[in-house]
A = this chain, B = another copy of it.
Amino acid sequence: MAAQVGTDAEPVARTPLSRDRVLRTAVAVADEGGLDAVTMRGVAEALGVEAMSLYHHVANKEAMLDGTVDVVLTEIMAVVAPLEPPDRPAAWKDTMRSRILAAREVLLRHPWAPTVIESRTSISPLVAVWMDGILGLFRVGGLSWDLSHHAMHALGSRALGFNQELFQPDDAADAADVDLLDEMAEHLPNIVGMLQEVVHDDPDSTLGWCDDQAEFEFGLDLLLDGLDRLCSPD
């Protein structure tokens, strides 16, 4: 009531809750505070509502997380939709590359999304649609159904623009503290050798030397070129 003092009871002040608003808010909470911030109570607070109200729009927390994946995939679809389809069979690789890198750009704005996507126990319909599109590009390129099937598995999460790394860039930078190199050299001779070459090539390097984007593209091209070769051996 107090909230309406001074302004008439306009519909603006208290937008009714909806599944869509819940999911968008969950995405916003995750973007700002990371995945740990996505709690029923946390999302509710961001909506100015009680936690229990959410249960009228999503079945439970897992269903809410399922929904955030749909929000992100819708965003990806919107970015990719205007891209040109391949104009000849040989263009399948370029088209796939563009689509995947566009998806990646969206995911970089939602760093929590890969973790959520990989933790789903049932497949999102929109992820299935995405995979279907990738599969279609393989077919345009002339890959057999069987090879296309293998190709999907080989790409894995790279088909959606991400690739979970075992080394975190931050860790690498820490480990590269030059004072530690000698100590590490005994057990990690090759990693130390690699780091020293980086220092030699670029003495000013901060050693936060992994360019995620470049590494992603390297791995993606390695796979796409390999598949292309299997399809049309010379």
Contact = CB atoms under 8 A, between A and B. Distances in A.
A100 interface: no
Contacts of A119: 115
Contact of A129 (B160, B165, B187): B187
A97 B117 CA distance: 29
Contacts of A218: 150, 153-154
A159 B190 CA distance: 15
B225 A118 contact: no
Is chain A's interface secondary structure helix, strand, loop, or mixed overall? helix
Of A122, A127, A226, most B-chain CB atoms within 10 Å: A226
A166 B117 contact: yes
Contact of A188 (B128, B167, B215, B227): B128
Contact of A150 (B168, B191, B215, B225): B215
Contact of A194 (B149, B157, B168): B149
Number of copies: 2
A83 to B, nearest CB: 18
A202 to B, nearest CB: 12
Contacts of A226: 222-223, 225-226
A135 interface: yes
B219 A188 contact: no
Given A128-B175, A226-B226, A136 B168 contact: no
B168 A164 contact: no
Contacts of A193: 139, 145
The 8 A-B pairs of least Cβ separation, nearest first, read A154-B219, A153-B215, A135-B190, A226-B226, A145-B197, A132-B188, A222-B226, A123-B171
Given A131-B167, A145-B193, A154-B219, 9 more contacts: A127-B166, A128-B191, A132-B189, A139-B190, A139-B193, A146-B197, A148-B194, A157-B164, A157-B166
